């Protein structure tokens, strides 16, 4: 089963990049580790083979050499694109958070950075949501 990702308005109180699923979260953990260690530089989630977009959304995760991570949200009509430029420190911490999440049957982790002015929150969830999330559950998908 693939992990899913999407950007939702008014999810848990704010605009949220939600990544959810079960088995494929181990691959997300591995992706963050590869980016943190320099074995990858940038990844388009839709092109991984193990993640699929919910709604008209694109997500790119890349490593930045800056000390503070940045997340850029682009909106163009009904399409959105998220560019996560993450520090190696944040990538390593995120991989550890997902590793802990993979040990439990269900739960979620907020992937918070030192940058408190991000345009959205990032949440990874396991066992809490169905494969397709309706707007009644998560708010309007972008």
Per the structure, the complete domain to which residue 68 belongs is given by 3-136
Give a yes or no: residue 102 inside a domain.
yes
Give a yes or no: residue 142 inside a domain.
no
pLDDT band at 114 (very low <50, low <70, confident <90, very high): confident
b/e string for 107-139 if b means 16 or more Cβ within 10 A? ebbebbbeeeebebbbbbbbeebeeebeeeebb
User: For residue 4, is pLDDT > 80?
Assistant: yes
User: For residue 20, is pLDDT > 90?
Assistant: yes
pLDDT band at 133 (very low <50, low <70, confident <90, very high): confident
Is the overall model pTM greater than 0.85, yes or no? yes
CATH code at 48?
3.30.1360
User: For residue 105, is pLDDT > 60?
Assistant: yes
């Amino acid at each position: 089963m693939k992990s899913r990702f999407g950007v939702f308005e008014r999810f848990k109180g704010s605009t949220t990049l939600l990544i959810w699923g079960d088995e494929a979260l181990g691959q997300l953990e591995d992706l963050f580790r590869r980016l943190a260690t320099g074995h990858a530089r940038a990844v388009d989630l839709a092109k991984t083979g193990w993640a699929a977009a919910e709604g008209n959304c694109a997500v790119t995760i890349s490593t930045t050499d800056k000390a503070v991570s940045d997340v850029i949200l682009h909106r163009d009509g009904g399409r959105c694109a998220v560019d996560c430029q993450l520090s190696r420190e944040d990538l390593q911490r995120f991989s550890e958070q997902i590793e802990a999440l993979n040990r439990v049957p269900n739960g979620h982790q907020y992937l918070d950075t030192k940058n408190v002015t991000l345009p959205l929150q990032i949440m990874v969830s396991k066992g809490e949501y169905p494969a397709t999330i309706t707007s009644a559950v998560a708010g309007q998908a972008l």
